[in-house]
Amino acid sequence: MNQPAPKNPLPAEAFSPIERVIEDLAAGKMVVVLDDADRENEGDLVMAADKVSKDSINFMIREARGLVCLSLTNELADRLELP
């Protein structure tokens, strides 16, 4: 059974500066975004949609084993005829 990660907040220095994260996303890299220890206390793999490949989706499915989600505007969803 999965156990929640310990609630041991890391110091700010343990995280990448937002400028570095933006550079990594622009370069097509995945980043891990963490939520608060008092919330779900989990990390999500995130990458720029225009940089996604079949290999990156396969990695997310195989290694992260969670949902793969995509944010779309209503306009794009309508154009793609999504329900």
Question: pLDDT per residue over 38-51, tens digit each?
Answer: 888 889 999 999 99
The answer to whether the beta carbons of residues 32 and 43 sit under 8 Å apart is yes
Residues in CB range of 1: below 8 A, 6 or more apart: none
pLDDT over 70 for what percent of the chain? 89
Residue carrying structure tokens 């206390």? 41
Mean pLDDT of 72-77: 94
Interior/surface letters 19-35, b for 16+ CB within 10 angstroms, e for the rest: eebeebeeeeebbeeee
Measured CA to CA, the distance from residue 25 to residue 8 in angstroms comes to 27
- 45 beta partners: 32
Phi, psi at residue 72, to the nearest 5°?
Answer: -130, 150
- The pTM of the full predicted model, rounded to 2 decimals, is 0.73
26 vs 71: which has the higher pLDDT: 26
pLDDT at 83: 84
